Structure 1
Amino acid sequence: MKIRRFGAFMSAVLISSTLVGFSPKNIEYNNPGTAAIAEEQLEASIVNLQALLDRMEKDGDIASPAVARTLKTHVTAVGHYENSKSYKKAIKHMESFHVLLNSYESKRMVSENAANLLRDYADALISKWDVIFDSGRVMDYLHQLSVEIGPRVAGTEGEKKAAEYLKSQFQSLGYDTSIQEFAINNRTERTLRILTNNKEIALGAATGSAVTGEKGVTGAIYHAGLGQPGDFSDDAKGKIALVQRGENSFWEKVQNATDAGAIGVVIYDNVDSLSPLRPTLNNNSSIPVVGTTKELGESILAQLSKGEVKANLVIHTHTNQTSQNVIAVKKPKNVVNPEIVYITSHYDSVPYSPGANDDGSGTSTIVELARTLKNFPTDKELRFIAFGAEEIGLVGSNYYVNNLPKEDIDRSLINFQMEMLGAKYEPASYLAVNTVDGKANTAWDYTNAAFDKLGKDKEKLILFRRGSSDHVPFHNAGITAACFNMGTSDGGLEPEYHTYHDTIENVSPERIQFAGDIISKAIFDFLADHNSQGKVLDEAS
């Protein structure tokens, strides 16, 4: 089989199937009483596998209708997973088909010849599915990043844990992986941890607030209503005052709390908002002050109604901070100074946010793309990079690009940046290709073509002028670059953006699959069309 071009996404799949050294056509089904199997029937598919089981039952290579029915039922169930694009589950259940088949063969209920062909069919399907972009796997990576690790603010332990996790994932896929560390600006920590349940509350900075030591201040929460003088009693001394916005000024609330002997103040909003209140005191407080949302303030009140609530409040600046990029590289064999293709994202988040969509979804997507491309025949050097410290000014990507040797810049072809690919927000159903200058480039061309080849609705594709992500340093270095995100028709983002509501519950696997199918198609086709060693594909097949 000679594959010279990628007319459809499945051509990439077929190439990968040949790389593992198997095609079902290598096995003949020999039953002298029946005609030979047509070549098209040997193409690995659930439909053809079901037809083959029917034929084997008819020919007597399967001992009984009950055995044939069990095998067919299992294959039908696997087909449901394939149809729903749950490829990881499809592979798992096809592997269990192997176990079932081995058991029947050992009991002489399936002939050896039939068992061999069925096994090879199953292997071909597994190989085919293994190189298809799978949002189920993306969600697994995302769970680890946004749930198990959580917020990944630049310079924090959470960001470092995420970097180590990503490094281990890329290494498990066979990539040459490294951590690139770099300095970042001092980081001000603002945390209110409810010690009763060990939950951290999202906060807004209050201008004019005092700071604390590294360990902060710890005390019981005292409900002080609106922070009027009459809302405080002697019991407020040594406690953290919780007050609601309204009626008097922020400074008056803080001064009243200070006069009552409170050791800190938390002001919660009186209107619903996804972002924490940021009080302006217009003065300098002698105690730490922060703001939070109406929702979170009321949640603390609900806990107070059940008994004492203790908390720890910290406002402290950390110095000598570092972040890190995670770099995974696959170099082609026997190619000197290969051209470079960059597939990137950022894995840090804003404070208090689990960063599920921004940019856990993009980072999980590049891990999945690394998996699908690990055996792809190309003469290009593939670099998958998860950048740190994007949220504080594209620091990681700027550091990376600015420190590339000139010879690397000269052989750099293109950058595909993944950013916020899974918003469940209903209007965010459009795939945006963002370029710094708003002009179409090679990344746009291949994405546009992928929509056509996959039969997608072209109204769901938009070209947008936007920087604000890690494609910017590549563009500034003269490298073709684009950033992909799911958003609204006018380039808007979901309301959970940069809030503590950016959780995995607000990420849509279907949106990630939609974006992943198109982006992976664009990248596969780009690599195939720019393969300067045309013989590689022929030899591989």
Structure 2
Amino acid sequence: MYRLLPLVALSSLAGASIIPQQPLAGSSNPEAPLISDSKELVSSSALEAHITKENLLKRAKQLYKIAEEGAPEYNHPTRVIGSQGHISTIDYIYSTIADLGDYYEISNQTFDAVVGNVFEWRLVLGDTEPESVLPFSLTPPTKNKDAVFGPLVLVANDGCDESDFPSEVNGAIAFIKRGVCPFGQKSALAGKAGAIAAVIYNNERGSVSGTLGEPSKYHVATFGISNEDAEPYIEKLEKGKIIPSSAYMDAIVSKAPTTNIIAQTKGGDPENCVMLGGHSDSVAEGPGINDDGSGSLSLLEIATHLVNYKVNNCVRFAWWAGEEEGLLGSDYYVSQLSEDENLKIRLFMDYDMLASPNYAYQIYNATNAVNPTGSEELRNLYIDYYESHGVNYTFIPFDGRSDYDAFIKHGIPGGGIATGAEGIKTKEEAEMFGGKAGDWYDPCYHQLCDTVDNLALDAWVLNTKLVSHSVATYAASFEGFPKRTGITARASSELSLYHGPKLVM
């Protein structure tokens, strides 16, 4: 059991001031704290040399033991927020950093997070159960957590306006097409119209499931089905046929306190911070040793060895809570930043899933054209590293699926690397990286089998060295990297399909 150290109360995490000491040798900021000259300036080669497969694997095995603490409540290992597995994960991270001495200013940020769990569900439309049916995350239960009965009623257009819902929806199950607006908006409008449940069918091939997002008193129990399953029902409803149906959902949605952990070097220019993060939580369905044990443990390992070096710019590590519930921790953190504290963060680097077993070396395609200036320079650092090591890489969308989202929306340059989640590896990628074409990059994504055995150690070691390189590069110098001039983001006006790992629209 880890020693739970007293956590620091914090009103604005990034705003926690570091008491000025003597100027750092060579720093342009006379207020920068002094780091002993007996330590050499951090370099990529020096920091990377500390990274070993043995140390990473040891941490992964320890994290799995921690996940097992969630079993009494969930009947299997998990580190979902609110579980003992996540509480002990936070304890482990905090205690590990605290045991390193006074190199870091460590603090916590507690906030109320929305949590939900679906225990059982059933949907019968007419005399059949659609094979593709899935419940939405953060769905409320059906009334009294019991089966409800009513006709299936087709909603006009996309179900994004009150006028799309005919009066017949009252006391019925609303049948709504996916598209245009968030799932939560569709569910709430169905509830306002008096629906007893809602079914959202896909507007493209394949099943659909996502999250309703921030709870609303109007939300109703909401299911998703595929376009293929929906077509026969749509045809019957358009011909005026009545489809008696029933829905059952046993689910809970509640709020619970959880905690972000932040560790910032006491040395280095506090006006120019290198920031990086990974998330400390897993989904309820499994232990999350790759997602995001791999990223969060890489940060912990690097933070452990960074203490051997001095830095010219401060380095700020973050372990976010509630990423799996919709980027809750990182959203809250950025929302609490004053403009002055925002501008001290020169860039944010996101490290989520670095060891997928059927991996591809993926770089977020973060360009300056649609993201804060500096995002492309960070992207190019990853490109240069892979190319210098003779490693193939591929670009993936910078589409709001991880904790960089709030940063780029508030003008902070961002980027990161990953090895893939539920996406399908192509034949071309199998030729580039090895592995199996046609399979998920991580076949255990969001499942019980995301254990220590689910880690590609070779990819994890290389990517942790790349993370070390990114830290060392900017901790030593921001020469050539664009300066922050304001907090207005240059971002696309198009709504993202994601805000976190689940679809939102």
- Superposition TM-score, scaled by structure 2 size: 0.53
How many correspondences in the alignment?
A: 307
- 1:326 maps to which residue? 261
- 1:185 maps to which residue? 114
Considering fraction of residues, name the structure with more helix: 1
Secondary structure at the aligned position of 1:445 is classed as helix
- 1:442 maps to which residue? 377
Query: Structure 2 CA distance, aligned partners of 1:326 and 1:523?
Result: 18
- 1:172 maps to which residue? 99
Structure 1 residues 316 and 373, CA gap change in structure 2 (3 angstroms) = same
Q: What amino acid sits opposite 1:283 in the alignment?
A: S
Query: Structure 2 CA distance, aligned partners of 1:211 and 1:155?
Result: 24
Query: Structure 1 CA distance, aligned partners of 2:110 and 2:82?
Result: 11
- 1:485 maps to which residue? 418
The answer (yes or no) to whether the contact 1:187–1:321 under 8 Å persists in 2 is no
- State which structure, 1 or 2, has the greater radius of gyration over its C-alpha atoms: 1
Query: Structure 2 CA distance, aligned partners of 1:482 and 1:530?
Result: 16
Structure 1 residues 369 and 529, CA gap change in structure 2 (3 angstroms) = same
- 1:158 maps to which residue? 85
Q: What amino acid sits opposite 1:148 in the alignment?
A: I
Secondary structure at the aligned position of 1:465 is classed as coil
- 1:283 maps to which residue? 246
- 2:461 maps to which residue? 513
Are 1:504 and 2:431 counterparts?
no
The answer (yes or no) to whether the contact 2:313–2:477 under 8 Å persists in 1 is no
Q: What amino acid sits opposite 2:460 in the alignment?
A: I
Query: Structure 1 CA distance, aligned partners of 2:390 and 2:399?
Result: 24
Write out per-residue CA displacement over residues 43-79 of structure 1, whole angstroms, 9 at most, x where no aligned residue. xxxxxxxxxxxxxxxxxxxxxxxxxxxxxxxxxxxxx
Query: Structure 1 CA distance, aligned partners of 2:370 and 2:448?
Result: 31
Q: What amino acid sits opposite 1:512 in the alignment?
A: W
Secondary structure at the aligned position of 1:420 is classed as coil
Structure 1 residues 505 and 434, CA gap change in structure 2 (3 angstroms) = farther
Aligned counterpart for 1:136 among listed residues 47, 54, 60: 54
Query: Structure 2 CA distance, aligned partners of 1:166 and 1:144?
Result: 11
Q: What amino acid sits opposite 1:447 in the alignment?
A: Y
The answer (yes or no) to whether the contact 2:271–2:344 under 8 Å persists in 1 is yes
Shift of 1:157: 2.6
Superposition pairs of residues 88-107 of structure 1, within 5 angstroms: none
Structure 1 residues 129 and 407, CA gap change in structure 2 (3 angstroms) = closer
Q: What amino acid sits opposite 1:351 in the alignment?
A: A
Query: Structure 1 CA distance, aligned partners of 2:278 and 2:112?
Result: 19
Q: What amino acid sits opposite 1:472 in the alignment?
A: D
Superposition pairs of residues 183-222 of structure 1, within 5 angstroms: 183-188=112-117, 190=119
The answer (yes or no) to whether the contact 1:438–1:465 under 8 Å persists in 2 is no
- 1:19 maps to which residue? 39
Secondary structure at the aligned position of 1:145 is classed as helix
Secondary structure at the aligned position of 2:308 is classed as coil
Query: Structure 1 CA distance, aligned partners of 2:286 and 2:370?
Result: 29
Aligned counterpart for 1:451 among listed residues 386, 398, 410: 386
Query: Structure 2 CA distance, aligned partners of 1:500 and 1:19?
Result: 44
Shift of 1:522: 3.0
Q: Structure 2: which 5+ runs fail to align?
A: 1-25, 27-35, 68-76, 121-133, 147-208, 210-222, 226-243, 430-439, 481-505
The answer (yes or no) to whether the contact 1:332–1:338 under 8 Å persists in 2 is no
- 1:474 maps to which residue? 407
Aligned counterpart for 2:289 among listed residues 351, 356, 359: 356
Q: What amino acid sits opposite 2:366 in the alignment?
A: T
- 2:360 maps to which residue? 429
Structure 1 residues 387 and 130, CA gap change in structure 2 (3 angstroms) = same
Aligned counterpart for 1:374 among listed residues 295, 299, 307: 307
Q: What amino acid sits opposite 2:478 in the alignment?
A: H
Structure 1 residues 182 and 448, CA gap change in structure 2 (3 angstroms) = same
- 1:293 maps to which residue? none
Shift of 1:483: 2.6
Superposition pairs of residues 288-437 of structure 1, within 5 angstroms: 317=252, 319-332=254-267, 335=269, 337-425=270-358, 428-435=359-366
Q: What amino acid sits opposite 2:52 in the alignment?
A: D
Query: Structure 2 CA distance, aligned partners of 1:394 and 1:365?
Result: 20
Q: Structure 1: which 5+ runs fail to align?
A: 5-15, 22-126, 192-203, 214-274, 290-314, 533-541
Structure 1 residues 330 and 502, CA gap change in structure 2 (3 angstroms) = same
Query: Structure 1 CA distance, aligned partners of 2:99 and 2:135?
Result: 41
Write out per-residue CA displacement over residues 76-97 of structure 1, whole angstroms, 9 at most, x where no aligned residue. xxxxxxxxxxxxxxxxxxxxxx
Shift of 1:325: 0.6
Query: Structure 1 CA distance, aligned partners of 2:417 and 2:301?
Result: 15
Higher relative contact order (CA 8 A, sep 6+): 2
Structure 1 residues 316 and 514, CA gap change in structure 2 (3 angstroms) = same
Structure 1 residues 140 and 209, CA gap change in structure 2 (3 angstroms) = farther
Query: Structure 2 CA distance, aligned partners of 1:479 and 1:129?
Result: 25
The answer (yes or no) to whether the contact 2:360–2:394 under 8 Å persists in 1 is no
Query: Structure 1 CA distance, aligned partners of 2:354 and 2:115?
Result: 30
The answer (yes or no) to whether the contact 1:324–1:388 under 8 Å persists in 2 is yes
Q: What amino acid sits opposite 2:51 in the alignment?
A: F
Query: Structure 2 CA distance, aligned partners of 1:184 and 1:471?
Result: 18
- Superposition TM-score, scaled by structure 1 size: 0.50
Write out per-residue CA displacement over residues 422-464 of structure 1, whole angstroms, 9 at most, x where no aligned residue. 0112xx23232353878761211211222244x322x334354
Aligned counterpart for 2:471 among listed residues 523, 530, 541: 523
The answer (yes or no) to whether the contact 1:178–1:326 under 8 Å persists in 2 is yes
Query: Structure 2 CA distance, aligned partners of 1:185 and 1:385?
Result: 20
CA-atom RMSD in angstroms: 3.9
Shift of 1:131: 5.3
Shift of 1:511: 1.1
- 1:539 maps to which residue? none
Query: Structure 1 CA distance, aligned partners of 2:446 and 2:454?
Result: 13
Secondary structure at the aligned position of 1:524 is classed as helix
Shift of 1:17: 12
Q: What amino acid sits opposite 2:385 in the alignment?
A: A
Are 1:146 and 2:59 counterparts?
no
Shift of 1:503: 1.7
Q: What amino acid sits opposite 1:432 in the alignment?
A: I
Write out per-residue CA displacement over residues 284-322 of structure 1, whole angstroms, 9 at most, x where no aligned residue. 56xxx7xxxxxxxxxxxxxxxxxxxxxxxxx56364412
Secondary structure at the aligned position of 1:514 is classed as helix
- 1:115 maps to which residue? none
Structure 1 residues 210 and 162, CA gap change in structure 2 (3 angstroms) = farther
Percentage of identical aligned residues: 23
